[in-house]
Structure 1
Amino acid sequence: MARKKKKAGTLIILLVVLILMILLYFLVVNKNKEEVKTEDTISLSTIESDQVTEISYTMNGTTLTYRKSDDTWIDESDTKAPINQDNITNMLSEISSLTAEKMILEDAKDLSEYGLDKPALTINVTCDDETTFEFCIGDSLVVGSGYYAKLSDSNTVYAVEEGIYSAFNYTQTQMLAIEEFPTITTTNITSINVNKNGRDVFKADYDQSASDAGEYYAWKISKPYSTVQKGDPSQFDTYLGSYGSVTLSECVDYNSSDLSKYGLDKPSATIDLSYYTETTAESSTTDDSSTTDESNDSTSDTSDTTSASEDDTQEEQTIRTDYKLTLLVGDQNDDGEYYVQVIADGREYENAVYTIDSSTIETMLDITAYDFVYNVVAQIDIASLDTLTVKADGKTYELTVAPNPDKETEVKEDEETAKDTDTTEDADSTDDTDSTEDSEEVPEYLYYYNGSEVEETAFKELYEDITGITTTGNIKKEVSDTTPVYEFTFTRNSDEFEELHVTYLPYDGVNFYRVSINGEENFLVEKTAVDKVVKSISGFSSK
């Protein structure tokens, strides 16, 4: 009996499960109504792109209308506005090839289930034959990607891909064409000035004449320092690279009459750039260099002579064009992007306001002048040194480089010997080789410490330590004590070089000295580094 009851209970449970599964099946079918499918996509539009003369679409309660004028699309509400023609092309492409992935429901009674009672996007297209096409897009699909959509003259609901919605998902400002930031080759930048809150925090110019003369440190920094400082080329290369790939995000106002809305009536920062471009052009030159032999005039062919006398050649010419650009930086929008204006020659919309990514602007403005300074205190080549005088702890030390008189004598003797080489070249060649091998090379310079000749290598090692002292940063506080701790005077061996006076002055008494270079104080040096060099000078002896 118990066994029969157990079997009956099991059958009842199975029956209940079966009924529930059947109910669930019909519930899903009736609720989603998405089981009406076709194997192939459904064509919704047969419009050709070149037939369309007007596009109008409504999104978020705003209607935008664009009309074709000749071959250019213009904004019906502002015919002077620069319109992004690529956006229009994309819209036309989506409309002309509009298809549905499947039919959801034929003749739907309740469009609100699909967001089509109040469409998120309504598209109206007018063709050159006055025919129109209207299409509505509602909610996103419950399952998968895409949207519910319908034609205006039918309540049949379709599923369409995301592309049609994305093609029209633009506000009026987003439809404005962006006048690109000028293309700048960063190695062609010749000047930069960064001003923040009305103060020049960094100004540098590239000295082309110095570069042409072989000077490596051709960048000259004039602000914020009172005297021009040499710039480190590697630092400039890194920083200026940020100007070679600037992208303007959006044109928010192509002809702004109220810059205060963007904080551009009083910009928080201004960046001025000078740069140039180079183009190559071919020029024709004529070489009229041939002559005719008078004795052969009677037999010369006139046409051949004329052809030979005018030899046209093509030569490439590099044409340089200089430009100036000013970037004005205003407030930030809700997305953190900066409002900017780009002022430059040749730009069509001078009053246009753009947005630009915050990281781009912050890279340009996050600049510390000292990071670009070549920080060697005394870059004096030993080949140009006559005497270095060092005053330290009440004593004076002199390091001198002088031409070797024996070297001068040797040169004169070699010149006199060379006069006789033509008559004795063969006989003396073997003897000259032997004498050269036996003789020692005479040094060109002699080196002295406090008047006594010293060994060249030791002298150069000490001098390398002296000229290896570097600055560590800007002076950050005023110190009244002007009593020199150490004084270095570099006298040069030619009038074309100026003397260099370096004075190390008290600062904090622990970590740093102020350094005065030809009377100008801008930087700090490590106290221990200078003290160590001075100790080497005072205790120097030839090795």
Structure 2
Amino acid sequence: MKKNVRYLVVVLVCIAVLVGAVLVLALTGGEEEAASSSAGSTSSTAVEALIDRPDTELKTMEVTNEEGGYIIHAEPEAASSGAESGAESSASSSSTVKMLYTVDGLKDDYANRSLVTAAVNDVLTLAPSRDLGEIGDLSEYGLDKPVAKVKATYTDGSTFSYWVGGESAGTDGARYICEEGSSTVYVATLGDFLYGSNIQFIRNDVLNVTSKDETASSEENLESGIRFTRIALSGSNYDEPIELVSDDDGSTIKMVKPRTAGTNETEMDTLKEALTTLTAYGAVAAEPTQEDLEKYGLADPAARVEFTAEGDDYAMIASNADSEGYCYLMLEGRDVVYKVLESRISAWLNADAFKLQSRLTFQPMLTELKSMEVSVNGKETAFTFTRTKNEDKSTEDETAYDYTVAGPDGKELNYEYFRNFYKSFIVLSLIENTADIPDGDPEITATYRYFDKSDVDVVEFYRASGRRYTVVVNGQVLGNTVTSGMETALESMELLIQGEEVPDTVG
């Protein structure tokens, strides 16, 4: 009995040893297998950058796509200086040399260099996120008909090309790519530079006219501080050209076409602002052909503006707006067609000569008048002025005068009463446009002569309707005014002639 027990104990010990050995082997083998499996998995998913060359070695980058693509040329702008030698010198030089990029078909004066540099960095920084391995049928990934092809040529003559296929689900901008001539497919996140043409590298700023007065602040520039000496508007939108010119010192600007008149300050400020700064929505064509001009409505432009600001000449042409409210525009001297919101250029796209001109009829300075003759239905009333130097108020630089006015009988009138009448006569404002002189003779005519010039100005008022006068200055129609204002002025004139007090109806 004891012997049997001893055998049983020995058997149990052996079994325990065997089980322990099996467990050790199992555990040891499992760890090695797991480690081997893990290493194998890492090896299959790790992806190295497909392009890993310094930008200083790039010569050209060519992108082909449905929009036509573009070609960018690279060259060092300035090499670094220093006493480094060997590998350290090479590495330092590569990192400090600034590259200059130019785009075929674009001039430097309107190319956006920062965007071009960004495109080179984006397109040639190719680090895939996944390696899908060799693929038998590239059409499954859109690589049989790639949406873009990229070819980089380096200074040593070598090239690297890759194709861009369909979108990869899961990440915005991720697409399938493969090196040209290879069936290995990768997934990489790419920017939008691959899918456009050279147009995307054109700056959107069209105009930025600034004052040449070094003392003027940026705020003063914004407040129409720019000195305009000429603005001319024409094009198919205009029945007749409009031209505005400044006086000798540029302080005021007046209309000379289609009529001679003062200008409306508010409307002029709006026009000047539209001609001072302009930023486009974007560019649509560079070096446009005749076909392009016709396509964008610029072969026969709706409007053309020519202007001189701060001594520099500018000219632009524009189309009428499309269904989305955009116009197409070109700045003379720049072979680019821009797309702009109509609201940004409406001030000169569809300018109205009547709105640009002053609403006032004709306003000679009272102190400049030598005589004023008023004819009402053939009855004439003449006023004559004299001026006497005021010795006390005069200076070496400026002569001061005292003024008197005499009525039709030569009798001196109250000068302040005359001033009140005169203000009511010249304050008449134009309320509507007209181009025609009514038949017949004018009901009222005012003739002005001056102390210091031989000019004679004639202002005529023709009855246009029951409550309208058409105002004609020196033979040019300015527009219509209401009769009530003239009636008030003529009542004031009668009070003046009779020696009675003339109230100030203008203020």
Using structure 2 for the length normalisation, give the TM-score.
0.65
Counterpart for residue 231 of structure 1: 263
The aligned residue for residue 25 of structure 2 is none
Q: Where does residue 287 of structure 2 map in the other structure?
A: 254
Tell me, in whole angstroms, the C-alpha distance in 1 between the residues paired with 2:67 and 2:247. 58
For residue 482 of structure 2, the aligned residue among 526, 533, 539 is 526
Q: Which residue among 266, 271, 274 is the counterpart of 2:305?
A: 271
Secondary structure at the residue paired with 2:191? helix
Matched, 1:392 2:376: yes
1:372 aligns with 2:378: no
Q: Residues 234-287 of structure 1: CA distance to partner in whole angstroms, max 9, x if unpaired?
A: 53332022122234642624274667644555444432223444xxxxxxxxxx
DSSP 3-state at the match of 1:236:
helix
Matched-pair contact (CA < 8 Å) for 1:177–1:251 = no
Picking from 271, 276, 280, the partner of 1:244 is 276
Distance 1:516 1:339, change over 3 A: closer
Residue 87 of structure 2: aligned partner? none
The residue number in structure 2 matching 1:435 is: none
Structure 1 residue 151 displacement after superposition: 4.0
From 212, 216, 221, the counterpart of 2:255: 221
Change in Cα spacing, 1:142 to 1:517, as seen in structure 2 (3 Å) is same
Asked whether 1:91 is paired with 2:119, we answer: yes
Matching residue of 1:355: 338
Report the Cα distance in structure 2 between the residues aligned to 1:385 and 1:64, rounded to whole angstroms: 69
1:61–1:256 CA distance, 2 compared to 1 (3 A): closer
1:166, distance to aligned residue in structure 2 (A): 1.1
1:250–1:520 CA distance, 2 compared to 1 (3 A): closer
Q: Does 1:487 align with 2:445?
A: yes
Compared with structure 1, are the counterparts of its residues 111 and 47 closer, same or farther at alpha carbon in structure 2 (3 Å cutoff)?
same
Classify 1:181/1:135 alpha carbon distance in 2 versus 1 (closer, same or farther; 3 Å). Answer: same
Aligned to 1:507: 464
Using the alignment, how far apart are the partners of 1:150 and 1:496 within structure 2?
Answer: 82
Query: What is the CA-CA distance between 1:523 and the residue it aligns to?
Result: 2.1
What is the aligned partner in structure 1 of residue 13 from structure 2? none
TM-score (norm: length of structure 1): 0.61
SS at match of 2:122: helix
Report the Cα offset of residue 88 of structure 1. Answer: 4.1
Aligned pair count reads 404
Q: Which residue of 2 aligns with 1:123?
A: 150
Contact 1:107 1:157 (8 Å CA) reproduced? no
CA shift at 1:331, angstroms? 7.8
**2:63 counterpart letter in structure 1:** Y
Please name the residue that 1:23 is paired with: none
Matches within 5 A, 1:324-343: 324-329=313-318, 338-343=327-332
SS in 2 for 1:472: coil
> Taking structure 1 as reference, are residues 488 and 51 closer, same or farther at Cα in structure 2, changes over 3 Å only?
same
Alignment CA distance shift 1:338-1:503 (3 Å): closer
Which of 165, 175, 193 is equivalent to 2:232? Answer: 193
| Counterpart residue number, 1:57 | 63
Question: SS of the residue aligned with 1:466?
Answer: helix
Alpha-carbon distance, 1:203 to partner: 0.9
Q: In structure 2, how many angstroms separate the alpha carbons of the residues matched to 1:477 and 1:61? A: 54
CA RMSD in angstroms, aligned pairs only: 4.3
1:502 CA displacement: 2.4
Aligned to 2:193: 167
State whether residues 56 and 75 of structure 2, in contact with CA within 8 Å, keep that contact through their aligned partners in structure 1: no
Any idea what SS the aligned residue of 1:379 has? coil
Q: Deviations over 1:305-359 (max 9, x none)?
A: xxxxxxxxxxxxxxxxxx4343344687897755555445xx6xxxx35234152
Residue 505 of structure 2 corresponds to residue 537 of structure 1: no
1:313 is matched with none
Residue identity matched to 2:458: H
Cα 1:59/1:509, change in 2 over 3 Å: same
Gaps of 5+ in 2: 1-41, 78-99, 211-223, 394-400, 503-507
Q: Distance in 2 between matches of 1:466 and 1:87?
A: 62
Is the Cα contact below 8 Å between 1:116 and 1:139 reproduced in 2?
yes
Contact kept, 8 Å, 1:121 with 1:165, in 2: the verdict is no
Q: Which amino acid aligns with 1:94?
A: D
Q: State the shift of 1:58 in Å.
A: 3.2
User: Residue 256 of structure 1 contacts residue 353 of structure 1 at CA under 8 Å; is this kept in 2?
Assistant: no
The answer (yes or no) to whether the contact 1:192–1:273 under 8 Å persists in 2 is: yes
- Where in structure 1 are there 5+ consecutive unaligned residues? 1-35, 278-322, 415-442
